[in-house]
């Protein structure tokens, strides 16, 4: 796989070991194809939402399922490499971010083993997060992914997806240098619905210019799941809008 550019050594057992101790194993999936557009400038995080990691690995490498991701990280921190980073894996589905609908072509996808909201959603253990941080820092070194394009599946498909969800520690990830976390940002006045939609769209969310209250609520819930997980109301309160404004202030011209 092309992703062998990680700089890690492969030992006889097929196990790779990077300096800080990340255990990486190849588990090739046939479910990939050439990228159709670029650059690769989104890091997209998921949970597997299946009963265990083995079931997820089997599904993500089943040719009939036509789903995959570049990596899967077990709860014990073992990293499985399924698809080379230069290839288009099949993890985003119908999705949108900042004008792009082919999120698979633009992203690296990482699946975190977790039963998810369907099978018993639970915290992501420390070894899993440690491995994600090590893997993620390497990915950010290899691809032009700005901090504000480190996203969850819920961000790019708010009406369909909740993962990785409100138990995922985005704050810890950001403190390690991966993605954004709004801390100590001031609350903002809540604007009228079209202005709020404009700001959400400016950050990247797929939303109409004058959305219905229900459509706005779906996107606000996605924003909260990522950037204010302690309180998922779907309501535009000053704290939520303040976080959005802070995020917009972090974006830089490309
Ligand atoms: Zn997902």
| Residue 74: active-site member | no
The pLDDT score that the predictor gives to residue 13 is 37
DSSP state of 130: H
Which tens digits make up the pLDDT trace of 90-133?
999 999 999 999 999 999 999 999 999 999 999 999 999 999 99
Q: Which two tokens stand for residue 3?
A: 């992703």
Q: Has residue 14 got a pLDDT over 80?
A: no
- Count of beta carbons in the 10 Å neighbourhood of residue 212: 10
| Chain mean pLDDT for the chain | 92
The pLDDT score that the predictor gives to residue 11 is 38
Q: Has residue 2 got a pLDDT over 80?
A: no
Residue 20 pLDDT level (bands cut at 50, 70, 90)? low
What 3-state class would DSSP assign to 94? coil
Gap from CA of 117 to ligand 1 centroid (Å): 12
Cα separation, 187 vs 172, whole angstroms: 22
Stated pTM of the model: 0.91
Burial of 215 (0-12, 13-18, 19+ CB in 10 A): middle
Q: Which residue has the higher pLDDT, 28 or 4?
A: 28
Q: Are 164 and 124 in contact (CB under 8 A)?
A: yes
Gap from CA of 140 to ligand 1 centroid (Å): 20
What residues have CB less than 8 Å from 80, skipping those under 6 apart? Answer: 24, 25, 26, 27, 57, 71, 72, 73, 74
Q: Which two tokens stand for residue 213?
A: 């209250």
What 3-state class would DSSP assign to 108? strand
What 3-state class would DSSP assign to 97? strand
The pLDDT score that the predictor gives to residue 184 is 83
Set 75, 111, 162, 166: catalytic member: 111
Residue 7 pLDDT level (bands cut at 50, 70, 90)? very low
Helix (H) / strand (E) element for 173: namely helix 170-175
DSSP state of 235: S
Among the listed ranges 14-18, 51-55, 86-90, 148-152, which one has the minimum average pLDDT value? 14-18
The whole-number average pLDDT for the span 12-23 is 53
Cα separation, 155 vs 206, whole angstroms: 9
Gap from CA of 240 to ligand 1 centroid (Å): 23
Strand 9-10 and strand 150-152: pairing? unpaired
Q: Which residues pair with 80 in a beta bridge?
A: 25, 72
Q: Has residue 15 got a pLDDT over 70?
A: no
Q: Has residue 162 got a pLDDT over 60?
A: yes
Which tens digits make up the pLDDT trace of 129-152?
999 999 999 999 999 999 999 999
């Amino acid at each position: 796989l092309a992703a062998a550019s990680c700089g890690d050594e492969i030992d006889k057992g097929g196990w790779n070991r990077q300096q800080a101790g990340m255990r990486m194993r190849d588990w090739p999936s046939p479910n990939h194809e050439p990228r159709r557009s670029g650059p690769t400038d989104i890091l997209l995080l998921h949970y597997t939402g299946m009963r265990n990691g083995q079931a997820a690995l089997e599904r993500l490498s089943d040719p009939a399922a036509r789903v995959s991701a570049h990596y899967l990280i077990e709860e014990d921190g073992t990293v499985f490499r399924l698809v080379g980073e230069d290839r288009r894996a099949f993890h985003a589905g119908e999705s949108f971010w900042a004008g792009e609908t082919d999120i698979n072509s633009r992203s690296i996808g990482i699946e975190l083993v977790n039963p998810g909201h369907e099978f018993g959603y639970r915290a992501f253990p420390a070894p899993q997060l440690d491995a994600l941080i090590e893997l993620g820092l390497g990915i950010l070194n290899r691809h032009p992914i700005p901090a504000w394009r480190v996203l969850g599946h819920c961000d790019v498909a708010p009406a369909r997806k909740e993962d990785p969800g409100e138990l995922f520690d985005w704050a810890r990830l950001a403190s390690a240098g991966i993605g954004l976390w709004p801390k100590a940002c001031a609350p903002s006045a809540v604007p009228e619905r079209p202005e709020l939609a404009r700001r959400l769209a400016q950050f990247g969310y797929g939303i109409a210019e004058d959305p219905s209250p229900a459509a706005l609520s779906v996107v606000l819930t996605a924003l909260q799941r990522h950037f204010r997980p302690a309180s998922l109301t779907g309501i535009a309160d000053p704290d939520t809008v303040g976080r959005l404004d802070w995020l917009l202030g972090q974006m830089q011209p490309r």
